[in-house]
Amino acid sequence: MKRREWLATAATLSSFAALGGLAGCAAPALRGTGDLGVVIGRANGTLYLVDTTAQALIGEVPGLGDLSHASVVFSRDGLFAYVFGRDGGLTKVNLLERRITRRIMQAGNSIGGAISADGTLVAAQNYTPGGVKVFDARTLELLADIPAEYAPGKLSRVVGLVDLPARRFAYSLFDANAIWVTDCSDPKNPRTTKFENIGRQPYDALVTPNGRHYIAGLFGEDGLAQLDLWAAEPKVQRILGGYGKGQEPLPVYKMPHLRGWAVAGRRAYLPAIGRHEVLVVDTETWAEVGRIPVAGQPVFVMARPDGRQVWVNFSVPDYHRVQVIDTQSQTIVQTLEPGKAVLHMEFTPRGEAVWISSRDDNRVSVIDTQSLATRARLDVPAPSGIFFTARAARVGF
């Protein structure tokens, strides 16, 4: 009887408090984090918090340093955002409390990072000094420092860092023409497997949604380098070699990004570096099966979550445009002009809308992906990257 009476009393008090029945003790508002996201304030070192359901700004967190090339990953529960700043800062932000919980300066120049599949480790990829550092996700205590030393006294810039299953990270060495895979099962004693001579100047990379293939784009030559992580003896092979067919490439004003990973069915859509084309690839054979001419040099080529559409933005001088590709017909069905200097796009988890940042117009546009009408416009100073907490459940994001 005593236990039943205690449970009944506790339930009554909880209900009473939830209804605001305790004088002077208003119950705090409770909410989940599944429809939250952040927008990078590129010019003022501020993280802007957004609600994707309300399509509204709900707060801001200043004091994050140089965010001119910033990226974000999320804790498994979506409560914390880890922000990697260009100045080497790594900042842990509580999205519900809207405050910085920890900030460290871990390098001189950093361009991104990843979080392990189990959510316990955060890794930063660094230009200066070249290498990867691994931190405890809870405390940001440094657990491992992995210099990207490819010759005595020479450190490479690191790009394309992604998480893999089983507390592993894959990344590329721009200056060393290499891919490294580091096993952090014991983070204080990391084990690195090195793949050399994979192609000239890997500039960015992605991992397929199933965690099997790590693919690095090459700046120094036409083609990509692919590593099959499921193979008994993994090795790198070249795919899409010589896609330029000897043509003189155009000047590259902004590096393409591969991290959006546009996959629709068994086709992948990738930016062709130095060309006004999107390459279409069969993900079973990794052979080119088509090309789609586009308005400029593509930067992000991103698939709507259901794979029916692929959205593309561009470098200068075409960076005010966004084009929509229908993956059934393999044609462009719409060209939008959401604002000057489109830097980033992010789909809502089920793809009913896409959020687009326009840096030079100081706004973020929310576009309906069915009607292609603008649902909302948010005023954000010099916005760049947009990141939603749904990324917490995806490999390589």
Read out DSSP for 207-240?
E-TTS-EEEEEESSSSSEEEEETTSSS--EEEES
Question: Of 6-10, 112-116, 307-311, 387-391, where does mean pLDDT reach its minimum?
Answer: 6-10
Which residues lie closer than 8 Å to 247 by C-beta, 6 or more apart? Answer: 275
> Right CATH number for 33-105+343-397 from 2.40.10.480, 2.130.10.10, 3.20.20.70, 3.10.450.40?
2.40.10.480
pLDDT digits (tens, 9 = 90+) for 249-268: 656 656 666 766 677 778 98
pLDDT classification of 9: cutoffs 50, 70, 90:
very low
Average pLDDT over residues 343-363: 97
Contacts of 80 (CB under 8 A, 6+ apart): 74, 92, 93, 94, 95, 101, 137
Q: Quote the pLDDT of residue 226.
A: 95
Whether the domain at 33-105+343-397 and the domain at 255-337 fall into the same CATH topology: yes
| 174-223 tens-digit pLDDT | 999 999 999 999 999 999 999 999 999 998 998 988 889 999 988 888 88
CATH 3.40.50.620 assigned to domain 255-337? The reply is no
Give the model's pLDDT for residue 186: 96
- pLDDT tens digits, 230-240: 999 999 999 88
Are 383 and 40 in contact, with CB atoms under 8 Å apart? Answer: yes
Domain 108-250 in CATH 2.130.10.10? The answer is: yes
- The C-alpha R_g of the chain, in whole angstroms, comes to 22
pLDDT digits (tens, 9 = 90+) for 44-84: 999 999 999 999 999 999 999 999 989 999 999 999 999 99
The average confidence (pLDDT) of the chain is 89
| Cα 99–Cα 105–Cα 111 angle in degrees, nearest 5 | 90
Lowest mean pLDDT among 95-104, 127-136, 224-233, 241-250: 241-250
| pLDDT tops 50 at residue 107 | yes
Mean pLDDT to the nearest integer, 126-148: 97
Eight-state DSSP code of residue 304: -
Residue 106's alpha-carbon distances to 55, 125, 129, 184, 244, in angstroms, are: 34, 10, 10, 18, 39
What pLDDT score was predicted for residue 252?
61
Q: What is the pTM of this model?
A: 0.90
When mean pLDDT is compared across 4-13, 25-34, 68-77, 187-196, the lowest value belongs to 4-13
Token reading at 210: 């199933």
Among the listed ranges 96-105, 192-201, 275-284, 368-377, which one has the minimum average pLDDT value?
275-284
What pLDDT is recorded for position 10?
44
Say which residue the tokens 């155009």 belong to. Answer: 250
In a 13 Å sphere around the CA of 266, the CA atoms on its Cβ side amount to 8
pLDDT grade for 293, boundaries at 50, 70 and 90: very high
pLDDT at 59: 96
Spell out the domain ranges in the chain.
Answer: 33-105+343-397, 108-250, 255-337
User: For residues 295 and 244, which has the higher predicted lDDT (pLDDT)?
Assistant: 295
Q: For residue 25, what is the DSSP state? A: -
Q: Is 138 exposed, middle or buried (0-12, 13-18, 19+ CB in 10 A)?
A: middle
What pLDDT shows up at residue 249? 60
